[in-house]
Structure 1
């Protein structure tokens, strides 16, 4: 029974694991740059996004969706598609961060962390949907077909 459940849900479990890693990267970079070094919130958000998207792309490609593209052109199409859809969720990220921190004035380090945590939960869900059905849909391993 456990083997059947693992087989059925392994991509979701792997995605959630790597999503946690990606979220930690995003939160850590943001916390270092914005509250830590007092950088602008929007700049810190974009840099944290870029770092976490790089981690997410390679972990999703290899361990979550089993992408087997090996040619340069296929790789470029895939990574550009990945960054495009992650760019859409960056907009979500920016809106939530702006509203939470600038408009609602949740601006202490703990409040910023809570805003970013809630933000990341929403973004992770949207990213899974994009990855599963729009990015890695045509290039999964044999076990997914």
Structure 2
């Protein structure tokens, strides 16, 4: 455990911990995406667009929880704030899903690349886009600035 803390502290000092942990959970999200895609496509023999959509749903739910809790450590005060954050997350993921579908179409239907190879290549594009969306638009850190209380007694 000591090595883990040293590694974490080193990356935090270099301001790389968030990127590292995002890539770690992004990698796990990619595994979820690819496994669900492969099962849908190969086992259940669904068309690639349907398989891709199913894999997107599973990976988005997984990614929201991991990004919120472990990557960006976002705290929400109310159910409404959580719903707003989730809504922004879904909108951003729909945009990246469009990128995903376009890349899959390009690789599979236009360039005749294998489905899983296309999925792997596409996931690189999606992971980068999702990090930018999450960092900039969704899980923004809010800094609380406390004003110093001055003595309010009359002078």
> Normalising to structure 2: TM-score of the pair?
0.83
Q: 1:64 to 1:34 in 2, by over 3 A?
A: same
Does structure 1 residue 72 correspond to structure 2 residue 99?
no
Higher relative contact order (CA 8 A, sep 6+): 1
The structure 2 residue matched to 1:11, chosen from 18, 21, 31, is 18
Q: What does residue range 53-132 of structure 1 map to in structure 2 within 5 Å?
A: 53-106=60-113, 111-132=114-135
Say whether the 8 Å CA contact 1:68–1:139 is kept in structure 2.
no
Say whether the 8 Å CA contact 1:68–1:140 is kept in structure 2.
no
> Normalising to structure 1: TM-score of the pair?
0.88
Equivalent pairs counted in the alignment come to 138
Name 1:50's counterpart in structure 2: 57
- 1:82-122 deviation per Cα after TM superposition (whole angstroms, max 9, x unaligned): 0100000000000111111122222xxxx211110010011
Rg (Cα) greater in structure: 2
Gaps of 5+ in 1: none
Deviation, structure 1 residue 34: 1.1
| Alpha-carbon distance between aligned partners in 1 of 2:89 and 2:104, rounded to the nearest angstrom | 22
* RMSD value, Cα: 2.0
The structure 2 residue matched to 1:24, chosen from 23, 31, 34, is 31
Name 1:36's counterpart in structure 2: 43
- 1:47-75 deviation per Cα after TM superposition (whole angstroms, max 9, x unaligned): 10010000000000000001000311000
